[in-house]
Structure 1
């Protein structure tokens, strides 16, 4: 039987090693890292990944590309079926930070097929050809703006952590600048400099990720709206329509 332990795939003498696994809603992986780069692909459900640099939403049909050695924790929202491809770093150009990419029909089929091959597949046979195609498709995969970067400034990071814990909080930028002890001008300038977003844009994106997680768990829209600080589902839908979430949207995806 194929192992479901990530450690068993880190030193396989192959450029790509694929693990198949399922998780119940509410499960978490705990904070960990891998010596190999990782493509974390959601076949079903929603995964939320958190690192020191930010948070990423990985809905079905998408994957998170994680550089080697990056400590991360994954939480599951809804029943999650996933495939993880552990990649030899020299096999492709890797980003400095995590990136969410859209998985093509071909990449999906190739990952599923490679997961059915022996872990020590024949590099000159079908397994080797599938592994090469996986690497080619990852290199071509378009990125999507499903990231929530965190600032490095300790004061701004405390603000962000407070909002992540309670995304419904209504405080405006003036209240937050008083709370963390900086001027509105400094908060505005440094927030955009360190995250690529204005404070208002960042908070909308945070609320969108929370909405996605709650929808994946099957929560009702009125409760979701209240949980993220909106008085009605209609107001929430208006916010969602203004927040980039597709591959053609504008906005930074790197912390």
Structure 2
């Protein structure tokens, strides 16, 4: 079997000046757009306000940093990543992407409710209505609504977006990541080329260690098993493939499953619903 090609060097860019898009009491939600080429990434940064990030087309990877560890989220256009204020994060385009970002003032976050889940990063479903509402937000940082009708329209759009966010279903799609070290480098390699090795022995050899030692790294540093972590990675990869309208039999084969039924059984065990339902929104 031919060896997969090495990942291409990424074009790493600083974030656009966030202060130009800063939300306020008067404008509690601000929209921003950025076109990203394949494998382009936006360097790690943080904001004083909350953020919702997703793409209109093309999949993106959002990585966050916490105390001693972090997480990464692979999301197609039908999903978005919620990032609370102050969390360090970076974005990578898994494929060419039209990135949309919402910045939320603390007054808008209060309107989302007292649910403690808003204090943590998570993945949300993006309804067709919320997608269209985000597209209607002004993305020119220097444009200020002047007419009363324009101000009223923007406030109405913001109120509807917040309502859609409250209604959005949360999905367990995040992958924990160590802050640094050999396991971090290995996890990054698995994210870049998830199908490069089919089993733990292959990835252990990649990291110049034994399968037993690699299993211990996952348990001690991430609190999960290698098998559970890789299963979540394959689910995220399958979601990206489903977003490209690839048939289930092809997804199962690409991910190394002997049959579509075996793949379907894995998805059902992992998320509690069959693939037809899990991938429907993708």
Aligned length: 239
Residues 77 and 214 of structure 1 are in contact (CA less than 8 Å); yes or no, is this contact kept in structure 2? no
Q: 1:82 aligns with which of 96, 99, 116?
A: 99
Q: Is 2:169 aligned against 1:142?
A: yes
The residue aligned with 2:72 is 55
Matches of residues 147-162 of structure 1 in structure 2 within 5 Å? 147-150=174-177, 160=187
Shift of 1:39: 0.8
Shift of 1:5: 3.5
Q: Alpha carbons of 1:26 and 1:236: their partners in 2 closer, same or farther (altered >3 Å)? A: farther
CA distance in 1, matches of 2:185, 2:33: 36
CA distance in 2, matches of 1:236, 1:26: 30
Shift of 1:99: 1.1
CA distance in 2, matches of 1:77, 1:14: 31
Give the TM-score of the pair, scaled to structure 2: 0.64
Shift of 1:157: 5.2
Shift of 1:46: 0.1
The residue aligned with 2:236 is 209
Matches of residues 86-125 of structure 1 in structure 2 within 5 Å? 86-92=103-109, 93=113, 95-115=118-138, 119-121=143-145, 125=152
Q: Which runs of 5+ in 1 are unaligned?
A: 251-255
Give the TM-score of the pair, scaled to structure 1: 0.70
Shift of 1:28: 1.0
Cα displacement string for residues 100-158 of structure 1 (whole angstroms, at most 9, x for unaligned residues): 11111221121112237985346861111111111121122111222112357978657
The residue aligned with 1:9 is 21
Three-state SS of the structure 2 residue aligned to 1:78 is coil
The residue aligned with 1:131 is 158
Shift of 1:89: 2.5
